[in-house]
Amino acid sequence: MSPTEAIPLLIVVLLMISIGGGDVQDMSVTFEGDNDVEALADVHVVAGGTTTVPENAAVDGDIYVIGGTAAIDGTVDGDVTLLNGNISVSDGATVTGAVQTYSGSASVSPDASVGRVSQFEAPTPSSSPAQRVGGFLLQFLVLGAFGWWLVKRHPLLFENVGAAVTDHALVSGVVGSLGATTLLVLFVYMAFTLILLPLAIVGLFAEFLVILYGQAVFGYLIGTRLPIERDGVATLAGIAVFLLVLELFGIVPYLGGIAQLAVAVVGFGAVLNTYFGLQRFEPVTIPGGT
């Protein structure tokens, strides 16, 4: 598993550490190869390859497995958490804390000494019409309230971002894909220091808000093309149509997901290109060019 592929699960690990409230000062990550460890950081993440705690080793710290394999043959004074991949706790091994499995394959010998073994049972998602409608209405209320407020108070922001979407969609898409990926990687690596973990979480939340901003702009653009004179009402109607179209995209395998991603990155890039709508985006021109 490459660092980029591991990013979503690394974010989950960071959130779990933050919610747990433990006093963590150091984190290490292995992505490939065979690694025998006789000393751990406060938190060690196995993202690939095989990490082994040797039979005669006693390490202090928590282990998170998000890919690859963790083989516990010695003693781990902490918890072992499996999010993806494989773990094995062999005969005579000791885990003073809990062996927690969320996904993946876990093998715990009955002759091993483990504080607690737990298996997370994911709730079965419901596809009932009532829940789907409820989810749609919740999205509409959040996005609609934001769109209504912004178009009433600062309509120029929507106009500037909307112009970047309609007139420079390709540039916005490139900037959006590069910007979103770069920021995501930056926030994850900031969180590796753990001291900056709160700032990284705030950054990830801000990135999510920018995506919502871009979606509201798409709703605004649709609203301007509807036969509705009042800007606020038109924006609300446009957001409703936009969310409905996104839901329809989601029905189509693969292509639907690609279309949803394209919409997200174009909106993200348009927001960045216009400095959140504060100024009109004008592409750079080369002097003397034709």
Q: Taking the chain (290 residues) in consecutive chunks of 10 residues, what is each chunk's mean pLDDT?
A: 67 74 71 82 85 90 91 92 92 93 91 90 63 86 94 94 95 92 79 71 88 94 94 94 90 83 93 94 68
Q: Are 22 and 85 within one domain?
A: yes
Q: Are 22 and 112 within one domain?
A: yes
Distance CA 45, CA 37 (A): 12
> Does a structural domain hold residue 281?
no
The predicted pLDDT at position 260 comes to 87
Distance CA 41, CA 57 (A): 14
Last residue of a domain, one of 95, 119, 143: 119
* Cα separation values, 127 from 123, 136, 223, 240, 247, Å: 12, 13, 29, 21, 13
Q: Are 265 and 143 within one domain?
A: yes
The predicted pLDDT at position 1 comes to 62
Last residue of a domain, one of 101, 119, 137: 119
The predicted pLDDT at position 193 comes to 64
> Does a structural domain hold residue 283?
no
The predicted pLDDT at position 287 comes to 62
Q: Are 21 and 114 within one domain?
A: yes
Q: Are 82 and 144 within one domain?
A: no
State which residues form the domain around 177: 129-273
Q: Are 8 and 87 within one domain?
A: yes
Q: Total domain count for the chain?
A: 2
Flag whether the pTM goes above 0.75: no
